[in-house]
Structure 1
């Protein structure tokens, strides 16, 4: 189990370094012209945090003696990891066609209600408020456009209102 933990942490560190390298192609600091962070700021710094967290996992595994509890994934956990991974791949595949404002709420609806078995009030609250938050945070505040796919014409009145 310890070997698997270290291997996954090392893989996350490599993936984080790759993401930071690509994000640094865009400005990662404060952009004085637009009055906000550069286009690569959030991907870069979130990847840096992921890199540090994975490094912490490796350091902890070296300093703390962890009892070997058997396989890293039992069959039930492996099924859950596969189900969520497949749903995330489907969500990413939907984004160019349906857009972020359709794909993400569909993922949240599936994850919260059908996979997590949460109540309808919580599920619908998060599912409906997340796209609203994302629109105002990314598009209105940061001026970073998210993919909209076939829903692009529905945003024209909002663009007229906020831009």
Structure 2
């Protein structure tokens, strides 16, 4: 598994470097004209974090020895597959119902059903995440997220913030 860890880490580092390179085609600093970050800022800095995290995984794998044991067992593989299916369902639901419906549904499933956490934590995350996303992307960065059939519900919010 160490070979797989290293190969995946190197692939993610290469992909991150590629994304950073393309993000520099747009301004990555503060844009004084719009009063916000440049169009390449978020992709650049997110890619840099990915590069550093993958680099940390690669460095950590150099000092490990798993003794030939497999990383995945049957239970873990089933869990990974169920999360991947839920993510694909969420991505498929975003154009239809919008990000503000699909993401809380995924958060509810992941935290309450899959993770078996408390109703309080589930409610905080499932309701807090879309509120945070709205203010971060739509109000602060002026990046509109897909809303699907819920678009008319956002007109009063647009009137307040734009």
User: TM-score under structure 1 normalisation?
Assistant: 0.90
Superposed, which structure 2 residues align to 1:14-163 within 5 Å? 14-62=14-62, 64-163=63-162
Residues 9 and 57 in structure 1, CA contact (< 8 A), matched pair in contact too: yes
State the SS of the aligned residue for 1:106.
helix
Task: Report the Cα offset of residue 107 of structure 1.
Answer: 0.5
User: TM-score under structure 2 normalisation?
Assistant: 0.90
Unaligned runs of 5+ in 1: none
The alignment yields a C-alpha RMSD, in angstroms, of 1.7
Unaligned runs of 5+ in 2: none
Aligned length: 162
State the SS of the aligned residue for 1:26.
coil
